[in-house]
Structure 1
Amino acid sequence: MRTRVRYGMLALVFVNVVINYLDRTNLAVAASSLSKDLQLDKVEMGLIFSAFGWAYALLQVPGGLLADRVVPRVLYAACLITWSLATIGQGFVRGFAGLFALRVATGTFEAPSYPINNRVVTSWFPEHERASSIALYVSGQFIGLAFLTPVLVTLQVYAGWQGLFVVTGLAGIIWGVVWYFFYRDPLDHPSVSDAELTYIEDGGGLFRGRKKAGTSVWSWHNLRQVFRNRTLWGVYIGQFAVNATLWFFLTWFPTYLVEYRGLSFIKSGYLASVPFLSACAGLLLSGFLSDHFTRKGISVSIARKTPIIAGLLLSVSIVGANYTDDTAMIIFYMALAFFGSGMALISWVFVSILSPKHLIGLTGGVFNFMGNLASIVVPIVIGFLAKDGDFKPALVFIGALGLAGACSYIFLVGKIERVNVQEEPVAVA
């Protein structure tokens, strides 16, 4: 009898992602009050928003290497607990330097998280279920934020921004312990049946023949391989564009509603959940539609690329908010743009499809590094563009990046097939 243990493992990853994004975005909820208490201007807040991204993006390659070397059960638990401790520390800061340093620490300890997610899904799911499984766990970032943003806003009202950081950090520590006790890889799980293992492996799941923990795939040769391929560069650029929209919502969006659009703090907290729900809907639609196309025999290139291109083009609609003062229409344009960005977030499926089999973690690290350069660039650029209180140029900037991402998938990403790695030259004595 074929078990379905893989869905239980996916549920654990889903919660990891919820915790992950709570600790990325609690600063956005706290920003308006925190900036006043610590006397930080918009340029300084832009730098604070980007602090996470400096560490997170720059450590993606090392994080990917760790994901290839250390079993997910141990590595994810360590990451959850350490970044949660850094989150708690943010509730006790007294100025720019301390907050910046702790945001860097949060980004540092979160860096391996998405390469681990990709390793888990690649191990537990056959290829024809890959896009929908990625959509389900990535949806955690939107479902969690949509339903918990009003909770975070209410928490801050009663406990202050300091209490907000402490509570979200404690939740991560508790969940890190839960993950360690319940997660197992396919060959180590006591409840998985041989039939399920066969189903996963026959469908392209990669849980046998992995390099053993402690071996390394690092070399300059391997790194060059994942940087030199044109198709990979196409998805790298596209991921930067997807993350540009995402990081606007994760950082400046609440400030945009409160300070530029004049909404109350409580009202902004509830309205902010609408775009996150829209992004979740776009992500799930895209993932299940893409897998449906694959099962119907439509080429992988069309099945995987079409939803992403359509989503990136839709994300350009964020510019529409510049042409209305009606709150409902502003939220509509924001929701439509984030719906499109959500559609494009199944792009992680290309790491599973394109990566050399023994370099999935390394390729995922490079992919996430390139995409998360947006977490550095976007908050800082918006801080400068909106320093006089006008967010219109910032929205044009985000829309232009969405268009550039769509063009990258159209013109750079060619036939979808696994990258063949050239053998590393052997020195002759």
Structure 2
Amino acid sequence: MPTTEVPGTRAAPAPSAGESRAKAWGFTGLLMLLYIVNWADKAVFGLVAQPLAEELHLNSSQIGLIGSSFFLTFTVGNLIAGLLNRWTALKWSLALLAVGWSFAMLPLVVSATFTVLLLSRMLLGFLEGPSGPIIHTALYSWHPREKRGLPSACITACASIAKIAVAPALAVVVAAYGWRTAFVVLAAAGLVWLVIWLPTWTPGPYGEDKAAGTNGAADEPAVPWSKVLLSPTFLGAALAVMSMYALVTVVLTWLPSYFEMGLGYSRVQAGTMFGFPSIASIVVMFGLSWTGDRLIGRGATSRVLRGVVPSVALLVCGATMALLPSIGTPAAAVAVVSIGYAFGASIFPLFNAGLAEIVPPRQLASTLGIFMALMSLGGVYGPYLTGWIVDQAANPAVGYGRAFQIFGAMVLVGGFAALLGVNPERDAARLRGTARTPDPKGLR
């Protein structure tokens, strides 16, 4: 079927059937490795929250404040993704970020105080903020628009892979050698990735990279930012991902503590079970994304597959989380959290791929940067609000159950907003008439 394009976007060169597709998936795997390190850096705080609380004498509100502060600077970092993409080639942007993450992990190893913990997590958040938009821009340069659902799911799945494969290993490291060792291991992982990345990366045929010498898009028509940001697809998707990301950050910061303090599991068991919701989410996410790409290739609409489907998944997630306080059995509570999270976490690659349909490639990094900044606002209030709720509750089990119920209600609201607003094909057609030739010196 014909693809929906914004006028002025030149057709990308057709890749060869063998080598280019192998390269595309090879680079997808390399970007996945970086994102796994990225998410492991986030997840480690949830794993060490209780050891840190014991060593530094922190209450739940203080732990939540640190988690929320990370996502505050993470939001600011997202907003500079477009500028970083404008000034520096993707290759060097991601290299600089990876070095920054590694060194941001180390101050707490040297001096473990509340102030150092807070500032180091805020620095890490700022440096990790631009990574999502830039990684997706790099990814999309190797995959055509109609086939981006599955590669997007691969990148989004890195959050789950980090919790399934890396978090249990880190939990064992923490139990055996202390939490400081986990931070050192993650710092080293970022530097090892860099050694592979620098000699191998090249941009793909479906994007543009100014510093890499493929900035032929300077004369592309650009869509006015007011039209992009006020489009129903952008607004509906932004409300949806903000509500779901709040729940994601609550799970990331508090799930091991919930399993340990709320449900009575041991610390190692809690760290191991941290990956249960992520296992379920990988199954649902890859199933939806793979099926969606195939159906779009056969003529199905983006409205259904990148609008209605993720919206319904959010409604399932919100309704499931709302039931959590009524679950009295620990194993059943783990299952309910896992199932609800699985459906909700499946939305991110679908909405990202939908947004990529309504803007030209030259505006994609900035669009995703703004989108992910709005998304990460959910992380600003999620962890702290949960800590406050737990501190005010009669016991941790009641507090965590109530917090998950509240965030489930927010997800329901986001799901309805996306159901009403997200329609990439409609909005691409509307934006088509507003495209204009940009100033070559203007922002992407």
Give yes or no for TM over 0.5.
yes
What amino acid maps onto 1:206 in structure 2? G
Runs (5+) with no aligned partner, structure 1: 187-196, 198-204
- 1:205-354 aligned at under 5 Å gives the runs 205-207=206-208, 223-316=225-318, 317-346=320-349, 347-354=351-358
Deviations 1:102-146 (A, max 9, x none): 011101111211111221122110112100110012212212211
Give the distance between the partners of 1:253 and 1:243, measured in 2 at CA: 14
What's the TM-score, normalizing by structure 2?
0.86
Question: Who is 1:377 aligned against?
Answer: 381
Q: Which residue of 2 aligns with 1:192?
A: none
Question: Which residue in the other structure is 1:35 paired with?
Answer: 53
Q: CA shift at 1:165, angstroms?
A: 1.0
Give the whole-Å Cα distance in 2 for the aligned partners of 1:216 and 1:372. 30
1:400 maps to which residue? Answer: 409
CA distance in structure 2 between the aligned counterparts of 1:84 and 1:142, rounded to whole angstroms: 21
Q: Secondary structure at the match of 1:181?
A: coil
**Deviation at 1:321?**
2.5
Is the deviation greater in 20-29 or in 167-176? 167-176
CA shift, 1:176, in A, is 2.1
Distance 2:307 2:338 in 1: 22
Conserved 8 A contact 2:308-2:419: no
TM-score normalised by structure 1 residue count: 0.89
Percent of residue pairs bearing the same amino acid type: 20
In the alignment, residue 65 of structure 2 is paired with which amino acid? L
Provide the rounded CA distance (Å) in 2 between the counterparts of 1:370 and 1:404: 16
Distance apart, 1:415 and its partner CA: 5.0
Q: Secondary structure at the match of 1:154?
A: helix
Mean Cα deviation higher: 143-152 or 408-417? 408-417
Distance between the aligned counterparts of 2:23 and 2:213, measured in 1?
23
What is the aligned partner in structure 2 of residue 63 from structure 1? 81
Structure 2 counterparts to residues 6-17 of structure 1, below 5 A: 6-17=24-35
- Give the aligned residue type for 2:55: D
Q: Which amino acid aligns with 1:255?
A: S
Unpaired segments ≥5 residues, structure 2: 1-15, 440-444
1:193 corresponds in structure 2 to: none
Which residue identity lines up with residue 182 of structure 2 in the other structure? L
Instruction: Quote the Cα distance in structure 2 between the aligned partners of 1:128 and 1:333.
Output: 34
Aligned to 1:362: 366
Q: 1 CA distance for matches of 2:294 and 2:214?
A: 35
One-letter identity of the residue aligned with 2:390: A
Counting matched residue pairs gives 406
* Matched-pair contact (CA < 8 Å) for 2:138–2:203: yes
Matched position secondary structure for 2:112: coil
Tell me what 1:102 maps to.
Answer: 120
User: Is residue 78 of structure 1 aligned with residue 89 of structure 2?
Assistant: no
Cα distance 1:148–1:69, how it changes in 2: closer, same or farther (>3 A)?
same
Q: Map Cα deviations across residues 267-321 of structure 1 (whole Å, 9 max, x no partner).
A: 1122222111111112211211211220121112112123311221121212332
Letter in 2 for 1:370: L
Task: Specify the alignment match of 1:166 in structure 2.
Answer: 184
Paired AA for residue 328 in structure 1: A
Q: 3-state DSSP class of the match of 1:128?
A: helix
CA-based RMSD: 2.4
